[in-house]
Chains A and B, each alone.
Chain A
Amino acid sequence: MTNRVFVTGLGLITAIGNSVSETLTSLKASESGLPNLTPFETDIENSPPVCRIDLTNGELQKRLGINPAKEISRTALLGLVAAKEAVQATKLKGNDLESCGLISANSVGGMDRSENFYPEFLDNPKKGKLRQVIGHTCAFSTNLIADQLGLKSMVTTISTACSSSANAIMFGSRLIRHGKVDRVIAGGCDALTRFTVNGFGALKILDNERCKPFDEKRAGLNLGEGAGYLVLESETSAMSGNRKPICEVTGFANTCDAFHQTASSPEGEGSFLAMQQALNMAGLTPSNVDYINAHGTGTRNNDLSEGIAISRLFAPDHPPVSSTKPFTGHTLGAAGGIEAVLSCLSIRNNLVYPNLCRQHPMPELDFEPVRTLKSDRETHHVVSNSFGFGGNDSTLVFSRY
């Protein structure tokens, strides 16, 4: 009874581009495509560097045709930019768009606004501007996107920290496989907030320089912001609309490390199981995989645990592995969506992106990440990993159609 799931539209906004094509151009430019790191003007000592999108909220609102004077969560605006691009690529409209589902993810809802509400409010509960807190829930950005696009059926939000939008794509794919919807927009968005920058700062996992995934001297992650969405369709829907699939979602799995609220287990059990189960669903063996877009945040803990899990599953013939986090920063609830789009682009363009900033090999690992852009072989199957707090480990598999 399971339907195949096709990707027919892509949408992106990241620190290296305000659209899919801009982001891809930067990725292809390797070093010169890296974003400027700018200090996050907050109260943490040595304001940590972040990967920011170079548009103000007012500029985003203008671009979206929303009154620039309105105070709207940046998370919602970023989400709308990328979701709109994905839908426009498919030219979906009318009833087909109304009945299209939306599964959107984010980590902290409209925190970028509500954290401005709190200082006054904590001082005096009668104070604080309510318009700043009205979009606090995770569903706010999802509803804004749904309403702006005119979606009227299944709309929901997933919030599982840094694996959120991989889980949104998983749920969207499952809805199509089971015939619950014919088409769905799935992905996620997150803006930089003081809350998360301070939180990761307190955990002491922010690198003061550019992050160095899979490097022995890695010192933490760079936070980023952005959004990434896919339009997913059943075969019937894509064919009836004459939309050419970009690629296919062939496998996915979500497991729990069940080891610690924030740390990954040393043997990477959760991520190992997620990759293994996702490949099983896709009917693939590890040797079929042409590229792994790793979670690779640049923290001591993640890269070791994920690297060991990759070794356990793929040794001795590891496919090319890279983390694109130096380009985008770690965009938390948006990361899985953004990296899913990059994985689809890898298949469409036969590209393996470079794992930049890697100088010193990790002695614990028996593989090296790919350090330069590769376009010399076909990518048929791409694995995308997203891991989050709570031991949440999610893997998506994309395959050439």
Chain B
Amino acid sequence: MGLYINGACAISARETHFGDFPGDKGTDNGLWLKTTTPDFKQFIEAKSARRLSRIIKMGVVSSLLAMNEADAAMPDAIIAGTAYGCMSDTKKFLKAMIENDGKFLNPTPFIYSTHNTLSSQVALQLKCKGYNQTYSQNSVSFESALIDGQMLLTEEGFNTVLTGGIDEMTDNLYTITKRLGLWRRLGEGVQPGEGAAFFILESQQTPSSLARILDVATLHGAKTETEIENWIREIIRKHHLELNSLDLCLLGKNGDRTYDDVYHHLETGLLNNSVCAAYKHICGEYPTSSSFACWLAAKILKKQIIPNGLHQQRSASTPINNVLIYHQHRNREHGLILLQSC
């Protein structure tokens, strides 16, 4: 029994939602990479679409497209990872509360402000009465969701799990995070971003399988380069792999000199036999961007092609069998996903 990605969809700033590799240039609004979305009306009834904020629509539609690709009718579980949750409804309610002094408040934005709005709206659209869960642990929100899905699929009654990572950038969030200095240290070519990537995970391989997830793990708190190396080494060994069998490593580099050193250390040391590449300059920097990296890795393993433009130092030889994703946020949260071709 394994853990297979049998369908996936990423809504990003690179027109990836119908499964194509990222386009050359991202759509940005001058400040951040803003997603190019499919026509929501084709997927969501106009009546509910009007009520739902953009993040919910992105989540619902990417979920539906992932299900289509896997030909999955009804998941047994829906698990979302989101760091910021529903910022626009939260702000809408806060604003009304402040401006109206709490009188005559419309409860609708409050109702839609909770972090689990997305997973429950997907459940409502599908009439899915199964397990429903939402993780919100900054940059490892998506990994937390994956770990949950990985465990569920080994239990009785869970055959199909819908899971993903999603975050939306809003004007307010941009202004606040900019003032907090989050974007000041981004390197050349990396912009703030947003996106939604959802996956159908199943324990059985099917003709639509994109890749197999061998492992997912997270670590908390500051780690030395050696601790990170040992962690990666241990996980590789656990799956009876050699370091040089990692054909591609997608690293969460964002050009921040203070925190990118660990990636350079890995590239020139532990991972120097692999092709190391980056993804945040493609999808933008946002907390659940590793879900985009996971989508990219799954597509690469399926198509057996590494697209250009991932800042890879050299080209990989085929077949591409194993892909490692590693990222850290300010040496505080570390996430790792190991994928294999199938």
Q: Is A180 an interface residue (CB 8 A)?
A: yes
Report the separation of the CA atoms of residues A390 and B180 in the bound assembly, to the nearest whole angstrom: 32
Q: Could you tell me if A138 and B127 are in contact, using CB atoms closer than 8 angstroms?
A: no
Q: Is B114 an interface residue (CB 8 A)?
A: yes
Q: Could you tell me if B115 and A159 are in contact, using CB atoms closer than 8 angstroms?
A: yes
Q: Contacts A157-B135, A198-B97 given; indicate if A261 touches B111 (C-beta within 8 A).
A: yes
Q: Is A155 an interface residue (CB 8 A)?
A: yes
Contact of B151 among A139, A180, A391 (CB under 8 A): A180
Q: Could you tell me if B180 and A261 are in contact, using CB atoms closer than 8 angstroms?
A: no
Q: Could you tell me if A158 and B136 are in contact, using CB atoms closer than 8 angstroms?
A: yes
Q: Could you tell me if A390 and B133 are in contact, using CB atoms closer than 8 angstroms?
A: no
Nearest chain B CB to A278's CB is how many angstroms away?
A: 12
State which residues 77-103 of B face A: CB under 8 Å: 78, 83-85, 90, 93-95, 97-99, 101-103
Q: Is B105 an interface residue (CB 8 A)?
A: yes
Q: Could you tell me if A45 and B103 are in contact, using CB atoms closer than 8 angstroms?
A: yes
State which residues 144-202 of A face B: CB under 8 Å: 146-147, 151-161, 167, 171, 174-175, 178, 180, 194-195, 198-199, 201-202
Q: Could you tell me if A133 and B132 are in contact, using CB atoms closer than 8 angstroms?
A: no
Q: Contacts A42-B102, A255-B132 given; indicate if A261 touches B112 (C-beta within 8 A).
A: yes
Q: Could you tell me if B110 and A202 are in contact, using CB atoms closer than 8 angstroms?
A: yes
Q: Could you tell me if B98 and A119 are in contact, using CB atoms closer than 8 angstroms?
A: yes
1/0 per residue, CB under 8 A from B, across A234-260: the answer is: 000000000000000000011111111
Contact of A195 among B93, B134, B147, B175 (CB under 8 A): B93
Give the B interface residue count (CB, 8 A).
Answer: 61
Report the separation of the CA atoms of residues A261 and B221 in the bound assembly, to the nearest whole angstrom: 36
Q: Could you tell me if A178 and B135 are in contact, using CB atoms closer than 8 angstroms?
A: no
Q: Contacts A146-B220, A157-B136, A178-B154 given; indicate if A255 touches B130 (C-beta within 8 A).
A: yes
Contact of A390 among B120, B135, B154 (CB under 8 A): B120
State which residues 116-132 of B face A: CB under 8 Å: 116-117, 119-121, 123-124, 126-132
Q: Is B332 an interface residue (CB 8 A)?
A: yes
Nearest chain A CB to B170's CB is how many angstroms away?
A: 12
Q: Could you tell me if A159 and B147 are in contact, using CB atoms closer than 8 angstroms?
A: no
Contact of A198 among B105, B117, B124, B221 (CB under 8 A): B105
Report chain A residues within 8 Å CB of B101. 43
Report chain B residues within 8 Å CB of A389. 111, 114, 116-117, 120
Q: Is A273 an interface residue (CB 8 A)?
A: yes
Report chain B residues within 8 Å CB of A109. 136
Report the separation of the CA atoms of residues A223 and B110 in the bound assembly, to the nearest whole angstrom: 16
Q: Could you tell me if B180 and A156 are in contact, using CB atoms closer than 8 angstroms?
A: no
Q: Contacts A137-B138, A152-B219 given; indicate if A256 touches B176 (C-beta within 8 A).
A: no
Report chain B residues within 8 Å CB of A258. 120, 123-124, 126-129
Report chain B residues within 8 Å CB of A139. 83, 136-138, 141
Q: Is B218 an interface residue (CB 8 A)?
A: yes
Q: Is B107 an interface residue (CB 8 A)?
A: yes
Q: Could you tell me if B124 and A167 are in contact, using CB atoms closer than 8 angstroms?
A: no
Q: Is A142 an interface residue (CB 8 A)?
A: yes
Report the separation of the CA atoms of residues A258 and B74 in the bound assembly, to the nearest whole angstrom: 13
Report chain B residues within 8 Å CB of A142. 137
Q: Is A215 an interface residue (CB 8 A)?
A: no
Q: Is B140 an interface residue (CB 8 A)?
A: yes
Q: Could you tell me if B103 and A174 are in contact, using CB atoms closer than 8 angstroms?
A: no
Report chain B residues within 8 Å CB of A257. 129
Q: Say what secondary structure dominates the interface of chain B.
A: mixed
Q: Is B203 an interface residue (CB 8 A)?
A: no
Q: Say what secondary structure dominates the interface of chain A.
A: mixed
Nearest chain A CB to B162's CB is how many angstroms away?
A: 12
Q: Could you tell me if A199 and B110 are in contact, using CB atoms closer than 8 angstroms?
A: yes
Report chain B residues within 8 Å CB of A152. 219-221
Nearest chain B CB to A107's CB is how many angstroms away?
A: 7
Contact of A262 among B111, B127, B138 (CB under 8 A): B111
Q: Contacts A118-B95, A195-B94, A198-B105 given; indicate if A392 touches B151 (C-beta within 8 A).
A: no
Contact of A137 among B113, B119, B136 (CB under 8 A): B136
Q: Is B106 an interface residue (CB 8 A)?
A: yes
Report the separation of the CA atoms of residues A391 and B111 in the bound assembly, to the nearest whole angstrom: 12
Q: Could you tell me if B132 and A390 are in contact, using CB atoms closer than 8 angstroms?
A: yes
Q: Contacts A137-B138, A178-B154, A258-B124 given; indicate if A159 touches B114 (C-beta within 8 A).
A: yes
Query: Which B residue's beta carbon lies closest to that of A43?
Result: B102
Report the separation of the CA atoms of residues A285 and B107 in the bound assembly, to the nearest whole angstrom: 40
State which residues 276-290 of A face B: CB under 8 Å: none
Q: Is B238 an interface residue (CB 8 A)?
A: no
Query: Which A residue's beta carbon lies closest to that of B117?
Result: A390
Report the separation of the CA atoms of residues A52 and B95 in the bound assembly, to the nearest whole angstrom: 25
Q: Is A143 an interface residue (CB 8 A)?
A: yes
Q: Is B256 an interface residue (CB 8 A)?
A: no
Report chain A residues within 8 Å CB of B123. 256, 258, 390-391
Nearest chain A CB to B39's CB is how many angstroms away?
A: 24
Q: Is B144 an interface residue (CB 8 A)?
A: yes
Report chain B residues within 8 Å CB of A261. 111-112, 117, 120-121, 124
Q: Contacts A139-B83, A203-B110 given; indicate if A159 touches B221 (C-beta within 8 A).
A: no
Report the separation of the CA atoms of residues A158 and B148 in the bound assembly, to the nearest whole angstrom: 11
State which residues 287-321 of B face A: CB under 8 Å: none
Q: Could you tell me if B114 and A161 are in contact, using CB atoms closer than 8 angstroms?
A: yes
Q: Could you tell me if A201 and B105 are in contact, using CB atoms closer than 8 angstroms?
A: yes
Q: Could you tell me if B116 and A159 are in contact, using CB atoms closer than 8 angstroms?
A: yes
Q: Could you tell me if B180 and A161 are in contact, using CB atoms closer than 8 angstroms?
A: no
Report chain A residues within 8 Å CB of B148. 171, 174
Q: Could you tell me if B107 and A202 are in contact, using CB atoms closer than 8 angstroms?
A: yes
1/0 per residue, CB under 8 A from A, across B182-220: the answer is: 000000000000000000000000000000000000111
Report the separation of the CA atoms of residues A178 and B158 in the bound assembly, to the nearest whole angstrom: 15
Q: 8 tightest A-B contacts by CB?
A: A390-B120, A43-B102, A199-B110, A155-B220, A159-B115, A202-B107, A202-B105, A138-B136
> What would be 27 A-B contacts, judged by CB atoms less than 8 Å apart?
A45-B103, A102-B220, A121-B172, A138-B85, A143-B220, A143-B332, A146-B221, A151-B221, A154-B219, A156-B144, A160-B115, A160-B116, A160-B119, A160-B132, A160-B134, A174-B151, A194-B97, A195-B97, A195-B110, A198-B102, A198-B105, A199-B105, A203-B110, A258-B123, A269-B129, A388-B114, A392-B120
List 20 additional contacts besides A43-B101, A137-B136; criterion CB under 8 Å: A44-B103, A115-B94, A122-B99, A133-B180, A137-B138, A152-B220, A156-B218, A157-B135, A157-B136, A158-B135, A160-B132, A161-B116, A195-B94, A199-B107, A199-B111, A255-B132, A256-B78, A389-B116, A390-B116, A392-B116
**Which A positions have Cβ atoms within 8 angstroms of B?**
42-45, 102, 107-109, 115, 118-119, 121-122, 125-126, 130, 133-134, 137-139, 142-143, 146-147, 151-161, 167, 171, 174-175, 178, 180, 194-195, 198-199, 201-203, 253-262, 269-270, 273, 388-392
